Amino acid sequence: MYDVLIIGGGAAGYGCALTLASVENTQEWAKEKKYLMIDNGKSDILNASFFNLAGVQFGIGGDELYAKMQTQLKNFKSCETKNDTVTKLEKDGELFTVTTQNESYTAKVVVIATGMHKFEINCDLTNVITHTDVMKPGKVALDNNDNKISENLYVAGLASGAKTMFAIANGEGAKVACEIFKSWTGKSAVAHDTIKDKIV
C-alpha cells in the first residue's frame, strides 16, 4: 500500500516525487509515508537538450538530466521507483488499484503524469480531451480542475494541459505534491529546502 503513486517519470513526475519525498525527515506527518513512481523510461526528456533551465548546466542533454533526477531521488528512502508500464487504473471505495504489465499496486492517492502524446491506460475515472495549449496537433490532456481530476486523483505536467516546457511541467509536479500535503495537514504546506542561518 502506497500513500501516493505517481504514473510517469518525466519532468512532472520527478517534480512531484522529489517534493513529496523531500519532507520525509522534516515533518512528523510525513515520516511514515510511502511513495511509488512507475516510469516506462520513454520520457521526451531523453531526446532533448536544455538551454533555459535556471541553475542547470547550459545545454545539458536530456539523458544526463534524467540520470541526475534519478540519482537525486535515491537520496530519499520514502520513494521507490519501478520501470514498468501502467495498463489499468481503477478505484474501489477510497483506494486505487494500479495495474502494470508485471504487477498490481494499491494507493491512497494517484498522480498521473503521462505526458501529452497519448493516454492508453484503461481507466474510466477521467476523460481524455484535446491539449489546446501546444503547437503540435493531435496532443491530449486529461480533464481536470486546477490539476485535480477527482478526490485523491491528480494530473500534472503536459497531461494536465500545461505548456510544453520542462520548468513548467516540473513546477506543476511540485504544486500537486503541495496540494497533497494540504489535504493531509488541513492547511497550506510547502517543502522548503533548508535556509542557512548565515550568508557567508
Q: Which pLDDT belongs to residue 191? A: 86
> What pLDDT, on a 0 to 100 scale, did the predictor assign at position 189?
82
> What was the pLDDT predicted at 135?
83
The model's pTM: 0.94
- What are the residues whose beta carbons fall under 8 Å from the beta carbon of 48, sequence distance 6 or more? 61, 62, 166
Q: What is the CA radius of gyration of the chain?
A: 16
CA–CA distance from 90 to each of 36, 127, 192 (Å)? Answer: 17, 14, 33
Splitting the chain (200 residues) into consecutive groups of 10 residues, what average pLDDT does each group show?
A: 97 97 92 96 90 92 94 96 97 96 97 95 96 90 97 97 94 97 91 59
pLDDT at 118: 93
Q: What pLDDT is attached to residue 194? A: 66
pLDDT score of 19: 97
- 36 in Cβ contact with 82 (< 8 Å): yes
The strand ranges marked E within the chain are 2-7, 35-39, 49-50, 60-61, 79-83, 86-92, 95-100, 104-112, 128-130, 140-142, 148-150, 153-155
Which of 111, 120, 119 minimizes the C-alpha distance to 169?
Answer: 111
Domains, the chain, ordered by start:
2-185 (3.50.50.60)
- Backbone φ and ψ of 104, nearest 5°: -135, 140
